[in-house]
Chains A and B, each alone.
Chain A
Amino acid sequence: MNFDFTEEQTMIKDSVSRFVRDEYDFDTRRKIVESDEGISREFWSMFAELGWLSVPFAEEYGGFGGTVDDIAAVMEELGKGIVVEPYASTVVVFGGLLAASDNAALKAEVIPGIIDGSCMGSLASTEAQSRYEMSDVATTATAADGGFNINGEKTVVANGGTADKFIVTARHSGEQFDRAGISLFLIDASAPGVEVKSYKMMDGQSAATVTFKDVMVPAGQLLNTAGEGMDLIDQVMPQILMGLSAEALGIMATLNTATVEYSKVRQQFDTPISSFQVLQHRMVDTFMACEQTKSMLYRGLCQAGEDDSAALLKTVHALKATVARYGKLIGEEAIQIHGGIGMTDELNIGHYVKRLMMINVSFGDGDYHQKKFNQLSYSA
């Protein structure tokens, strides 16, 4: 039994931790968020040089050959600095799907660019009506000239404005809600017929509406067998959910520490407010919430290393539901215990809370995942 990160994992975790501590203070982040592009290309190049962008990719493509443990280690530390550069959307989601793809030619073409920092990517799957159901896809792919003709609109595509390439879910057979008949296409942001409209999100990151109008895509751009795109998404989803949950864990721990420290220095009624038992017990509850979330993440990481995908799936649904519940508790308590100052845009607390809120609604909120958990656990 072992709950420690390996030496290699500890090295990369420490390297992200040092970056957040030394280079990514809250003022630096604020300036990046307020810049035109909303991210720092300079830092992105640094991430490439430090090897962080290579984590999930096989060594044959120049990757680090990492596991979900490595991804979690990086994401937890990025969470502590609420880093806005699109690591999750490019490396964990877009990169994770590519890494799991069986299209060797496509992988050889695209992955080296991710690793060297020249290619950012994003999964374009959500539509105006789809909410959390990945298989609710109205975007169409019709066979044409040995390839496919893509038409449709994707909304709130994470970091869509800075993405060079998209992985797009499009339906080429079946009805709107069918699981089968959805294909995954790699499409250039600059391809004819692709239009990207970017906007800011509450967590300092950006998203975009991406429209596809008669976009011609050769069959070689398919990530896996046509019509079986959902299989690939299902395969990668535990890793995506654990990565985002690790980011949330880093945020939750940071909020708890900040709140405890603040309570020790804030004086009211001639005494630090940390001396009040009602606040102490609430901070103990947020401490326990963070520990329980960490345990659930570790449960997932341990099970990912075993060959029991049914157990893992139950755990990742439970994990995302736990992140939702305890993230809300910790965020709201952090604001409450900080009092008036916690309400200000100037203080970092609210910004950590807003990132937690966006993680909650990414790839299914707490209720969505608890319902999935219930179906797996209690249905005959």
Chain B
Amino acid sequence: MDIKFSAEDLAFRDEVRDFFTQEYDSSITAKLSSAAGTDYKEGIVAWQKKLHAKGWVAPGWPKEYGGTDWSATQKFIFETERGLAGIPDVVPFGLKMVAPVIYTFGNEEQKARFLPRILESDDWWCQGYSEPGAGSDLAALNTTADYAGDNYIVNGRKIWTTFAQYADWIFCLVRTSKGMRKQQGISFLLIDMNTPGITVKPIVTIDGKHSLNEVLFEDVAVPTENLIGEQDKGWTYAKALLAHERTGMAEVADSTRMLDSLKQRASVEVNGGKAMIDDPIFQMRLSDIEMELMALEYTELRVFASMAAGGMPGPESSLLKIKGTEISQAIHELQLQLASFYGGALPENLNADELGHDFAFEARGKYMYGRAATIYGGSNEVQRNVIAKAVLGL
């Protein structure tokens, strides 16, 4: 039993590290730190363009469409190094969500039209899945698309749409037929956000920021050429994508870096003149998280090793999602505990220097927004249903 990498893989790791060190500069960091402002879009697009220039923006894609042709090990190394370096992942909606559906189930015209612009980060995509009445029970959606000659006429409401305010395109699940099982009669439609009849309404979340939206469709005419695959088969395509979404949700490297920074912070923050990291109870809370993360690192390696050996990511990816999000939330919780009442102050009329605790704003924001991690991507309760059924046979 060992986790040794080959000399080639170690050389690759060095190449990735060097690239990140040289190319991910502080101007990008500054833009991204104002999350969900307009700077954020500029910052992340600038970074994705740098990745694309290197040929590394879409490691998951097949080589023929612009992928890297990396081995499973190389992809794993790339993701790990990204997380450890504190570099955000690419915005997933185009590169990781709709693109795999387009190159797997789309026609040649659709591939030629959409894939290059996704690679270039010229189109910003958002995801039109959830509706007010369809959350975990996604198949209950009832945004309708009525066939009318050259167009589908779309009516309905999509909700929790991340970054819809930036989006050029939205990929939607819509109901095209009724009167059958609710998973049937759903179609996968690509919709230009500039089409008349679309309204985007901001939703401010409990962290005080705006990344979520409601998207309203009123008699929106969508050309039938924007239908992916066959009408009424969209659920099949979306399910394939959801499995894709769940892998890589353990985010071990990101949590490792966050935990390291939490430990450093705990050695600076004091109570009664003593560093918090020397407090025995605080140490127990830290190690509760750290030990779980040490185990998860190897759970992820085990899943990865079976994929590298040719296996498919199975229901165990649900385990990675559940444990990964529970750990990241636990880190956020401890960060906020460390921020104490300083973390309650809002940044509007105050800067971090005045407060004397420059991490406190961030701790509050991350904790509040971090609650979403166990809700999105298939809530953790739904993930438990998946394991119960697919692994335990219950």
CA distance A302 to B1 in the complex (A): 5
Query: Shortest distance in angstroms between B267's beta carbon and chain A's nearest beta carbon?
Result: 8
Q: Does residue B305 face the partner (Cβ distance < 8 Å to A)? A: yes
Q: Does residue B387 face the partner (Cβ distance < 8 Å to A)? A: yes
Q: In the complex, which residues of chain A have a beta carbon less than 8 angstroms from the beta carbon of B392?
A: 260, 280, 283-284, 287
Q: In the complex, which residues of chain B have a beta carbon less than 8 angstroms from the beta carbon of A321?
A: 287, 291
Q: If A1-B73, A374-B287 touch, does A298 touch B394 (CB 8 Å cutoff)?
A: no
Interface string of A303-330 (1 = CB under 8 A from B): 0011000000001001001100000000
Q: Does residue A5 face the partner (Cβ distance < 8 Å to B)? A: yes
Query: Shortest distance in angstroms between B133's beta carbon and chain A's nearest beta carbon?
Result: 21
Q: If A281-B384, A292-B299, A378-B277 touch, does A305 touch B284 (CB 8 Å cutoff)?
A: no
Q: Could you tell me if B280 and A5 are in contact, using CB atoms closer than 8 angstroms? A: no
CA distance A281 to B3 in the complex (A): 32
Interface size class of A (residues with CB under 8 A): 35 or more
Q: For chain A residues 351-380, which have a beta carbon within 8 Å of chain B? A: 370-371, 373-374, 377-380
Q: In the complex, which residues of chain A have a beta carbon less than 8 angstroms from the beta carbon of B284?
A: 370, 374
Q: Could you tell me if A295 and B287 are in contact, using CB atoms closer than 8 angstroms? A: no
Q: Could you tell me if B5 and A287 are in contact, using CB atoms closer than 8 angstroms? A: no
Q: Does residue B385 face the partner (Cβ distance < 8 Å to A)? A: yes
Q: In the complex, which residues of chain B have a beta carbon less than 8 angstroms from the beta carbon of A277?
A: 385, 388
CA distance A283 to B393 in the complex (A): 11
Q: In the complex, which residues of chain B have a beta carbon less than 8 angstroms from the beta carbon of A287?
A: 319, 387, 391-392
B263 CB contact (under 8 Å) in A2, A281, A370, A378: A378
Q: In the complex, which residues of chain A have a beta carbon less than 8 angstroms from the beta carbon of B304?
A: 1
CA distance A285 to B393 in the complex (A): 15
Q: Could you tell me if B295 and A296 are in contact, using CB atoms closer than 8 angstroms? A: yes
Q: Could you tell me if A296 and B294 are in contact, using CB atoms closer than 8 angstroms? A: yes
Q: Could you tell me if A299 and B294 are in contact, using CB atoms closer than 8 angstroms? A: yes
Number of B interface residues at 8 Å Cβ cutoff, please give it.
Answer: 42
Q: Could you tell me if B305 and A1 are in contact, using CB atoms closer than 8 angstroms? A: yes
Q: Could you tell me if A281 and B295 are in contact, using CB atoms closer than 8 angstroms? A: no
Q: Could you tell me if A295 and B5 are in contact, using CB atoms closer than 8 angstroms? A: no
Q: Could you tell me if B280 and A374 are in contact, using CB atoms closer than 8 angstroms? A: yes
Q: In the complex, which residues of chain A have a beta carbon less than 8 angstroms from the beta carbon of B290?
A: 318, 377
Q: For chain B residues 265-305, which have a beta carbon within 8 Å of chain A? A: 267, 277-278, 280, 283-284, 286-287, 290-292, 294-299, 301-302, 304-305
A288 CB contact (under 8 Å) in B2, B3, B319: B319
Query: Shortest distance in angstroms between B392's beta carbon and chain A's nearest beta carbon?
Result: 5
Q: Does residue A162 face the partner (Cβ distance < 8 Å to B)? A: no
Q: In the complex, which residues of chain B have a beta carbon less than 8 angstroms from the beta carbon of A378?
A: 263, 277-278, 283, 286-287
Query: Shortest distance in angstroms between B72's beta carbon and chain A's nearest beta carbon?
Result: 10
Interface of A is mostly: helix
CA distance A9 to B287 in the complex (A): 33
Query: Shortest distance in angstroms between B9's beta carbon and chain A's nearest beta carbon?
Result: 9
Interface string of A243-277 (1 = CB under 8 A from B): 00000000000000000100110000000001101
Q: Could you tell me if A293 and B394 are in contact, using CB atoms closer than 8 angstroms? A: no
Q: For chain B residues 338-394, which have a beta carbon within 8 Å of chain A? A: 381, 384-385, 387-388, 391-394
Q: In the complex, which residues of chain A have a beta carbon less than 8 angstroms from the beta carbon of B302?
A: 3, 295, 298
Q: Does residue B322 face the partner (Cβ distance < 8 Å to A)? A: yes
Q: In the complex, which residues of chain A have a beta carbon less than 8 angstroms from the beta carbon of B1?
A: 2-5, 69, 298, 301-302, 305
CA distance A274 to B381 in the complex (A): 16
Q: In the complex, which residues of chain B have a beta carbon less than 8 angstroms from the beta carbon of A296?
A: 291, 294-295, 298
Query: Shortest distance in angstroms between B23's beta carbon and chain A's nearest beta carbon?
Result: 28
Q: Could you tell me if A263 and B394 are in contact, using CB atoms closer than 8 angstroms? A: yes
Q: Could you tell me if B394 and A274 are in contact, using CB atoms closer than 8 angstroms? A: yes
CA distance A284 to B297 in the complex (A): 19
Q: Which residues of A contact B (CB under 8 A)?
A: 1-5, 69, 260, 263-264, 274-275, 277, 280-281, 283-285, 287-288, 291-293, 295-296, 298-299, 301-302, 305-306, 315, 318, 321-322, 370-371, 373-374, 377-380
Q: Which residues of B contact A (CB under 8 A)?
A: 1-5, 73, 263, 267, 277-278, 280, 283-284, 286-287, 290-292, 294-299, 301-302, 304-305, 308, 316, 319, 322-323, 381, 384-385, 387-388, 391-394
6 additional A-B residue pairs with CB within 8 Å, beyond A3-B305, A5-B1: A1-B301, A275-B394, A291-B316, A302-B3, A302-B298, A374-B280
